[in-house]
């Protein structure tokens, strides 16, 4: 009798990828919803300064949620179909419908490219000259400082610290390169969006791991110990298997734009 497919490492890779995307993305969206609630509360109280503060924070999140999470949602749907093998492609199990439904998400809230340009062009460079990234990474670094001594959290804190330094360096590098290469912001935008998304999701997985480790240490969690251990294991998977994707995006985004713009339009034909 053959083993169940869940015992195969590659099947687990696909399932864990879906779980990491779903639970990490959900945490990001919940926090964005909190920011929207705080905006509404500030408006009700007539506190314009607080309203603008939360509006700026939500504005930074929005293109990442709309662009990065929809791309990863499509990836998760495709993995879900792939796990079923040939049966995933037929209507019987419903996976093909999920994959088709997920596909539209990268388009109808503004295409991924539009969200990417909004992030790097408007929110990061024009509106704040990189300050929004500096402020956000400062928040992450404060979190890392609080958890650097925790045996469960040490590696997450170190990886996040490195990602924060790289995120700021890449932002400055693109800002400076744009003085000479007018197309680099556009050519780098999607890679920058995806880098930012993976970095942000890493922060939310680290936060989940931090809460899980605290509950395990205290022994007073509302969930079972196995639930909290699973959270830490999925966070480990994310940091080991998905966060490294940032490095490909980092390398690509700082390359000059000439390879994208040098080919003349008539040579985009697929006829030859």
Contact between 133 and 168 under an 8 Å Cβ cutoff? The reply is: yes
Instruction: Find the farthest-apart pair of alpha carbons in the chain and give their distance in angstroms, rounded.
Output: 68
Nearest to 154 by CA among 225, 235, 43: 235
Q: What is the pLDDT of residues 106-140, one digit of tens each?
A: 998 889 999 999 999 999 999 999 999 999 999 99
Mean pLDDT on 68-81: 97
Q: Mean pLDDT across the chain, nearest whole number? A: 95
Burial class of residue 63 (count of CB atoms within 10 Å of its CB; 0-12, 13-18, 19+): buried
Torsion of CA 59, 60, 63, 65, to 10 degrees: -100
CB atoms within 10 A of CB 60: 22
**Confidence category of residue 272, pLDDT binned at 50, 70, 90:** low
**pLDDT reported for residue 1:** 66
CB atoms within 10 A of CB 108: 9
**pLDDT reported for residue 241:** 98
Q: What is the pLDDT of residues 140-192, one digit of tens each?
A: 999 999 999 888 899 999 999 999 999 999 999 999 999 999 999 999 999 99
pTM for the whole thing? 0.96
Mean pLDDT on 1-13: 90
Q: 150 in helix, strand or coil?
A: coil
């Amino acid at each position: 009798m053959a083993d169940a497919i869940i015992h195969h490492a590659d099947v687990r890779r696909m399932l864990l990828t879906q779980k990491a995307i779903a639970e990490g993305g959900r945490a990001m969206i919940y926090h964005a919803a909190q920011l929207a609630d705080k905006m509404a509360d500030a408006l009700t109280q007539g506190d314009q300064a607080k309203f603008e503060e939360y509006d700026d924070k939500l504005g930074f999140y929005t293109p990442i949620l709309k662009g990065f999470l929809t791309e990863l949602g499509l990836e998760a749907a495709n993995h879900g179909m792939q796990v079923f093998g040939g049966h995933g492609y037929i209507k019987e199990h419903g996976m093909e419908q999920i994959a088709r439904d997920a596909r539209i998400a990268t388009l109808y809230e503004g295409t991924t490219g539009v969200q990417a340009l909004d992030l790097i062009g408007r929110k990061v460079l024009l509106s704040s000259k990189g300050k929004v990234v500096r402020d956000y990474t400062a928040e992450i670094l404060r979190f890392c400082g609080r958890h650097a001594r925790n045996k469960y959290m040490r590696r997450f804190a170190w990886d996040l610290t490195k990602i924060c330094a790289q995120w700021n360096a890449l932002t400055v590098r693109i800002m400076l390169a744009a003085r000479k290469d007018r197309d680099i912001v556009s050519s780098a935008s999607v890679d920058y969006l995806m880098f930012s998304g993976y970095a942000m999701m890493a922060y939310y997985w680290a936060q989940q791991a931090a809460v899980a480790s605290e509950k395990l240490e205290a022994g007073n969690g509302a969930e079972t110990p196995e639930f909290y251990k699973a959270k830490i294991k999925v966070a480990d998977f994310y940091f080991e298997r998905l966060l490294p994707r940032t490095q490909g995006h980092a390398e690509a985004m700082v390359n000059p734009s000439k390879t994208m713009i040098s080919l003349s339009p008539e040579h985009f034909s697929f006829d030859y």
